Amino acid sequence: MGRKFVVGGNWKMNGDKKQISEIINTLKTGPLSPNTEVIVGVPAIYLEHVRTNLPQSIEVAAQNCYKVPKGAFTGEISPAMIKDIGVNWVILGHSERRQIFGETDELIAEKVAHALEAGLKVIACIGETLEEREGGKTEEVVFRQTKAIAGKIKDWSNVVIAYEPVWAIGTGKTATPQQAQEVHKALRQWFCTHVNADVGNSIRIQYGGSVTGANCKELAAQPDIDGFLVGGASLKPEFVNIVNAKQ
């Protein structure tokens, strides 16, 4: 059985109830391809509102969570809380969490492990900076980030990997389909070698980095790109075109 195409929309710290209602209506109107799994990453304060108002066919994700079920961690939310309001997914390790908030490979791996143990599904993000790419360190960086997660978990069935070159997020720069495919193929080979061939062949690897309605079809045509994690475009009507890129 082939890998099901999966498109995530990461709203980041955007939206109010009015704008969110417009996005929900756009998603309801669609039409969205039934062959694509759709997940929207929602600010924590609106998670329950969005889960209540979106069709069950569209999944909802928190944009972050902590590595323990509860405790004295002001401002954090736990996987247990996310599950409690009927949300099944979380995005972890996004480059903004790594770059702006200083989250380490180790912390992200611990978060991924706990979220999975608590019953959430995880979009785990990896990716290199422009300096790292220009220094020829792309594979070194993404393998290191992936290895940290692999050291903490055994079951990959509820994990989607999102490869997001940091230099292409929100910059308007996009890796060419060939550049993206090259990294996706290398990652798949890494899983085959360091985890096992079953995981390597079945794990879904999204591409994220200035994906738009204009470039999504060419990216989706690459054999090892199994979907997208979309930022700014997920707030716009063109997100429907991105969801349908694989048709």
Tens digit of each residue's pLDDT (9 = 90 or more) over 215-247: 999 999 999 999 999 999 999 999 999 999 997
- Residue 125: what are its φ and ψ, rounded to 5°? -100, 140
CATH topology of domain 5-243: TIM Barrel (3.20.20)
**Closest residue by Cα to residue 142 from 115, 175, 120:** 175
pTM: 0.97
Tens digit of each residue's pLDDT (9 = 90 or more) over 173-184: 778 999 999 999
Parse the chain into domains and list their residue ranges: 5-243
The dihedral region occupied by 119, where left means phi > 0, alpha psi between -120 and 50, and beta the remainder, is: left
Distance CA 191, CA 32 (A): 31
Contact 153, 113 (CB under 8 A): yes
Tens digit of each residue's pLDDT (9 = 90 or more) over 30-76: 999 999 999 999 999 999 999 999 999 999 999 999 999 999 999 99
Contact 161, 204 (CB under 8 A): yes
Q: What residues are annotated to the active site?
A: 94, 164
